[in-house]
Amino acid sequence: MWFFSQAISFEAYVEKLLLFAITKIAEVKIKIKRRDKSEAHFGKLLNFVNTNTVDVKMKIRRRKKMKKFKLIHIAIALLLVVSLCMVGCQSDTGAPVDPAAGGESSSGEGASGHKVGFIQLTLGTSYHAAMSERFEALSEENGVETSMTVSQNRTSEEQLKLAEDLIAQGVEALVLNPVGDEIVPSIQQLCANANIPLICVDNTSAGSGYTYVGIDNFAIARGIGQYVGANYNGGNVVYVRSCPTDTGCPAFRFGGIMGGMSDEGEMARFPLIDERYAPSDVGEADGMAQMEEMLAANSKIDIVISHHDAQGLGALTAITNANRTDIKLITGFDGEKAFFDKMKENEGGKNGPDLVTGLNSPIMIAEITMDVLNDIFDGKSVDAEYLLPVIIISYDNVDEYYDYGF
């Protein structure tokens, strides 16, 4: 196997085993049909792995003392999980389950022939556009009649009106990427009154009366913060924020990054000296405008925290245009391939600021959402939440995860 092909330290060897296990689990998780009775079991195993391996990897990188037999047991346990998941991905005939088909073709029709409404947060970023495009493609493949709408002004009032309109048009299920947590109860009540299921994606978290498909924003952000704290001794920090109306994930992301940095030492090393809200959306142009203002206002900046990869790319453009060489690191969030490309180009800080991000795949979210819809319309029970794995991507491992980007 590839991890035996080179002479490496024991710590690096075990970390490669961990990364291998996490990657394989992420791949097979999508393939396990949601109606399988063993799904809850696999989900619990995966969540356990996600929760514990981030800390294990950071301990390895910090070279803390850890008994070798403990590390070996962890690695073996992870590989056993992979083996179990691989078995769970096979049908009774031994043929792999097609995730795009919502399970085995011999079972129910799933969402085929049903009407589904989708309220997207915005199409102003490549992240949200990629999610919408993938869901539309899956709808066509699965024979689902999908009405795609999008918030033009990113307001709760607008999303509530969109939900009312879609329900009046007779949709049988609603998918919502909310502007913030505050709108979810109102739309959930609308769906309950109409007796249709609600799936919330991305920009919120699990709650009552709906299924959540997305990520643990705090856990991923904490991993990013741990990277910052472990690799940098300190410096002035600026924050490229989301929009003022975004009350969903920003608190979890910023809080997670601060928590991760605190895991690695005193926070006094990283004073937050400036921050700017996104003027209209969370795309590159917004990030560039935000960063231009902060560059003009601050003569010494070391670390830039960005709410999205796209904003991080805009910030990088502003830094390059201003010929500033003081910035050492830009953090992102999501896993945009353009961000990966710059990460590779800058070579961990050799050719410009170092870049780091956390994986939040819009493609995987769209695919899981369609799987959940298939289960719902087949009358199968679904979980309260489906979370993507926690994966932090830097120059050291970008090639391993490049294909997970969008």
pTM above 0.75, yes or no: no
> Is the confidence at residue 24, as pLDDT, over 70?
no
User: What CATH class has 113-214+363-387?
Assistant: alpha beta
Fold of 217-358: Rossmann fold (3.40.50)
In tens, the pLDDT along 304-336 reads: 999 999 999 999 999 999 999 999 999 999 999
Q: What is the helix, strand, coil percentage profile of the chain, to 5?
A: 50, 15, 35
Give the model's confidence band at 17: pLDDT under 50 very low, under 70 low, under 90 confident, else very high: low
* Top-confidence residue, 378 or 123: 378
Q: Do 224 and 333 touch, CB atoms closer than 8 A?
A: yes
In tens, the pLDDT along 347-358 reads: 999 999 999 999
Which residue from 255, 256, 297, 251 is spatially nearest to 274, judged by alpha carbons?
297
Given this model, what pLDDT does residue 240 score? 98
> Is the confidence at residue 75, as pLDDT, over 80?
no
CA 338 to chain centre: 16
Which residue from 179, 199, 188, 305 is spatially nearest to 248, judged by alpha carbons?
179
Region of poorest pLDDT, from 19-33, 133-147, 225-239, 248-262 = 19-33
Which percentage of the chain shows pLDDT scores above 70?
74
d(CA 94, CA 89): 9
Region of poorest pLDDT, from 15-19, 185-189, 287-291, 334-338 = 15-19
Residues of the chain with CATH 3.40.50.2300: 113-214+363-387, 217-358
d(CA 91, CA 107): 12
Q: What is the identity of the amino acid at 132? A: S
Q: What angle do CA 74, 75, 79 make, to 5 degrees?
A: 115
Q: Do 132 and 175 touch, CB atoms closer than 8 A?
A: no
Given this model, what pLDDT does residue 359 score? 96
* Alpha carbon separation from 159 to 47, 63, 124, 155, 164 (Å, rounded): 31, 48, 16, 7, 9
d(CA 19, CA 397): 9
Q: What is the identity of the amino acid at 292? A: E
* Top-confidence residue, 257 or 63: 257
